[in-house]
Each structure stands twice: as structure tokens, then as C-alpha cells.
């Protein structure tokens, strides 16, 4: 028989998670501040609790998918967490996750934090590749691994409760950098007789090809030397910066998304042109970390 569990929060993500646990045959108790959202899940067999404390009392395993850290404090203020296994899937910072871990542990619970690498339509669809980073209590993770893996693949990244959020935010931060570059590229061709739908596949395949640089950067950071196998040197790339800035100017496009990165490339080179000129772009990492 499948492990019973409680889920707090039936927003877009909570509702998707609930559906996946019901589909996998787990007895599920749900609670949501706005009770009406539980209706369709009740029709599919979920038990609906009248309050958060009652929902927590129903099962040992309690998954929280509320909006933000403030809402967990508000919702669980009156709940008894003694002996509970709390899994917090709210997106937050490493710091809030660590504080929430201390908060739960002080109330007698085991604590696992999660960072969901999926959007709701991917949940419960293994072919879509959804997964969740988990960190915190390894015992909790091992004991409930099969249950946690029903909606999305479960990846444990460490006992430090902040590590799931750290991984989550690292991946999403890289994504926003990519989105920024894509926005600049579309802005360059906007208003020209270039169909954005024709640029799109070119852009996608170029970004996919360039994704190989991620592994090269990691190898350089691990080696502590940024010159191995460099095909595009920092010196060459800094020499090319004016081309990017002038093209933006010619097209009437603001270079505000690109200039911070170009400035870091130039600073790295200027710090020691003879040494850093032969590197790739890895040195920017050191400038950011200070
Ligand atoms: P929604 O905005 O759809 O739902 C928010 C949920 O939080 C609702 O159940 C809402 O209740 C509840 N809530 C908000 N404030 C309070 C409060 N003070 N007390 C009690 N309940 C409260 O958000 P999502 O479901 O999309 O997201 C939930 C979490 O999942 C977030 O932390 C988000 O970052 C994370 N996540 C979401 C992803 C997504 O693509 N949607 C992707 C990855 C992570 P009510 O119905 O009463 O308003």
C-alpha cells in the first residue's frame, strides 16, 4: 500500500502535485486557504481538511506548497509538528530554507527542503523530465523517496537544508541570463525584414551548441587554471566587444543587458592582460564572487 500524505497549498503547483499523488494511488489529505480549490481533488478521492492543523494531524508526511515563506508561518502557526516529516517545496533562498529547517526541528519535526525544477504541466509526466532538488534530513528523504518521486524525479543534494534552494536559484539565474541574451537578439532584428520565427530556430540551436561551455567552465574552475583548451581567448573576445556595442547602436537597441557582462570581461583582462588574455571567460566568476 502507498504511503499516505498531507499536502498544504492547492495553487497551480500544489494542484498538479496532488493530482500526481492521487494518480499514483497515495491516500492524500489536502488543505487550502480558499476551500473551493479542493473540490475537484475531493471528487478524485482526496480527503479535505477543514484547517491546516487538522491536515497536519492526519499524516506523518506533510508536504507544503504555499506561495512563500511568510505563508508557511501563517498557516502552520497553530499546528503540532511533533514527529512530523515536513517537506517544504516553497521556492526561497538558502537562508530562508535553513531558518525554516531550524524552525521545524525545534518543533520536533524532521525537515526536507525542495526546489521544483518544473512547471505544473510537467508534474507527473516523466517524459517531460520534471525533478525536484531536495536537501536537509537524509533519513526523511530515504524513507519517503518513492512517495516524493511520484510527481517528479527526486534528487538529494545534501544535508544542508539550504542546498536545494541554492541549486534551484543557480539554475534559474542562468536561465534569466539566457533570457536576457535572447531578448537582446530579438531586439536587434525587430523592425527589420527578419521574421522572428525564422530567427528562433537559429537562436535555439546556437544556444544549444554553446551550452557545451558550461562543462568547460566547470573543468577550468575545478582545475584552478582557465587556459586549457581555449579556442576563443578572452583577449580576442574583449577585442570584439565594440562590434556588439556598435551594432546595438546602429540598430537603435539599448545594450543595457549586455554591458554589465562586457564590463566584467574587460576588467578581468585589464587586471593582467598577459596572463588573463589566454583564458576563456571563466575569470568572470572570480570577479563576481569577490
Ligand atoms: P499559486 O499562486 O498558484 O498558489 C499559491 C498558494 O499559496 C495558494 O494555495 C494560496 O492559497 C496559498 N497561500 C498564499 N498565501 C497564503 C497564506 N498567507 N496562507 C495560506 N495560504 C496561502 O502558486 P504556485 O502553486 O504556482 O506556487 C506555489 C509554490 O511553488 C511557490 O513557492 C512557487 O515558487 C513554487 N513553484 C511554482 C512553480 C510554477 O511554475 N507554478 C515552479 C516551481 C516552483 P489561496 O488559494 O487561498 O490563495
Q: How far is the CA of 211 from the centre of ligand 1 (A)?
A: 32
Asked if 19 and 41 count as a contact pair (C-beta separation under 8 A), the reply is yes
Measuring from atom 34 of ligand 1, which residue has the nearest CA? Answer: 91
**CB distance 238 to ligand 1 below 6 Å:** no
**CB distance 169 to ligand 1 below 6 Å:** no
Residue among 13, 19, 73, 131 whose CB has most ligand 1 atoms within 8 A, to mutate: 13
Instruction: Please name the fold of domain 5-166.
Output: Rossmann fold (3.40.50)
The minimum-distance atom of ligand 1 relative to the CA of 66 is 7
Q: How far is the CA of 127 from the centre of ligand 1 (A)?
A: 25
Domain 211-289, CATH class in plain words: mainly alpha
pLDDT confidence of residue 290:
74
Q: How far is the CA of 65 from the centre of ligand 1 (A)?
A: 6
CA distance 210 to 61: 42
CA torsion, ordered 78, 154, 18, 55, to nearest 10 deg: -20
ipTM for this model: 0.99
pLDDT confidence of residue 147:
98
pLDDT digits (tens, 9 = 90+) for 189-220: 998 999 999 999 999 999 999 999 999 999 99
**CB distance 93 to ligand 1 below 6 Å:** no
pLDDT confidence of residue 66:
98
Rg (CA), the chain: 24
Q: How far is the CA of 97 from the centre of ligand 1 (A)?
A: 16
Q: How far is the CA of 82 from the centre of ligand 1 (A)?
A: 25
Asked if 110 and 137 count as a contact pair (C-beta separation under 8 A), the reply is yes
Return the ∠ at Cα 257 (arms to 251 and 260), rounded to 5°.
120
Cell triple for 204? 535555439
CA distance 237 to 249: 19
Q: How far is the CA of 64 from the centre of ligand 1 (A)?
A: 10
Q: Which residue shows C-alpha cell 475537484?
A: 40
pLDDT confidence of residue 29:
98
105: exposed, middle or buried (Cβ count in 10 Å: 0-12, 13-18, 19+): middle
Measuring from atom 14 of ligand 1, which residue has the nearest CA? Answer: 67
The minimum-distance atom of ligand 1 relative to the CA of 70 is 18
User: Where do the CATH 1.10.1040.10 domains begin and end in the chain?
Assistant: 211-289
Q: How far is the CA of 15 from the centre of ligand 1 (A)?
A: 10
Residue among 8, 11, 64 whose CB has most ligand 1 atoms within 8 A, to mutate: 11
pLDDT digits (tens, 9 = 90+) for 72-114: 999 999 899 999 999 999 999 999 999 999 999 999 999 999 9
pLDDT confidence of residue 84:
98
**Which stretches of the chain score pLDDT less than 70?**
none
Question: How far is the CA of 155 from the CAs of 22, 112, 163, 236, in angstroms?
Answer: 21, 12, 11, 40
**CB distance 269 to ligand 1 below 6 Å:** no
Percent of the chain with pLDDT strictly greater than 90: 98
Sign for the pseudo-dihedral over CA of 49, 38, 45, 111: negative
The distance of Cα 207 from the centroid of its chain, to the nearest Å, equals: 19
pTM score, whole prediction = 0.94
Asked if 136 and 142 count as a contact pair (C-beta separation under 8 A), the reply is no
Measuring from atom 40 of ligand 1, which residue has the nearest CA? Answer: 119
User: Where do the CATH 3.40.50.720 domains begin and end in the chain?
Assistant: 5-166
CA distance 176 to 290: 21
β-strand partners of 64? 8, 88
Amino acid at each position: 500500500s502507498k504511503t499516505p500524505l498531507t499536502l498544504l497549498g492547492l495553487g497551480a503547483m500544489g494542484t498538479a502535485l496532488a493530482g500526481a499523488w492521487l494518480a499514483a494511488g497515495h491516500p492524500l489529505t489536502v488543505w487550502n486557504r480558499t476551500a473551493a480549490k479542493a473540490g475537484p481533488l475531493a471528487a478524485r478521492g482526496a480527503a479535505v481538511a477543514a484547517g491546516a492543523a487538522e491536515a497536519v494531524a492526519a499524516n506523518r508526511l506533510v508536504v507544503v506548497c504555499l506561495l512563500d515563506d511568510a505563508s508557511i508561518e501563517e498557516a502552520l502557526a497553530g499546528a503540532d509538528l511533533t514527529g512530523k516529516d515536513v517537506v517544504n517545496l516553497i521556492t526561497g533562498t538558502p537562508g530562508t530554507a535553513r531558518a525554516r529547517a531550524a524552525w521545524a526541528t525545534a518543533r520536533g519535526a524532521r525537515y526536507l527542503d525542495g526546489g521544483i525544477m518544473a512547471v505544473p504541466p510537467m508534474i507527473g509526466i516523466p517524459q517531460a523530465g520534471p525533478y525536484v532538488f531536495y536537501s536537509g534530513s537524509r533519513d526523511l528523504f530515504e524513507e519517503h523517496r518513492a512517495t516524493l518521486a511520484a510527481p517528479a524525479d527526486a534528487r538529494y543534494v545534501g544535508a544542508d537544508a539550504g542546498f536545494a534552494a541554492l541549486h534551484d536559484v543557480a539554475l534559474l539565474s542562468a536561465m534569466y541570463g539566457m533570457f536576457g541574451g535572447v531578448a537582446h537578439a530579438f531586439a536587434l532584428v525587430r523592425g527589420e525584414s527578419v521574421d522572428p520565427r525564422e530567427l528562433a530556430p537559429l537562436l535555439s540551436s546556437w544556444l544549444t551548441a554553446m551550452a557545451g561551455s558550461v562543462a568547460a567552465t566547470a573543468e577550468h574552475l575545478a582545475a584552478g587554471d582557465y587556459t586549457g583548451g581555449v579556442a576563443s581567448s578572452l583577449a580576442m573576445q574583449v577585442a570584439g566587444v565594440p562590434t556588439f556595442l556598435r551594432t546595438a547602436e546602429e540598430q537603435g537597441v539599448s545594450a543595457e543587458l549586455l554591458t554589465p557582462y562586457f564590463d566584467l570581461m574587460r576588467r578581468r583582462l585589464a587586471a593582467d592582460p598577459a596572463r588573463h588574455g589566454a583564458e576563456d571567460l571563466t575569470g568572470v566568476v572570480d570577479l563576481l564572487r569577490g
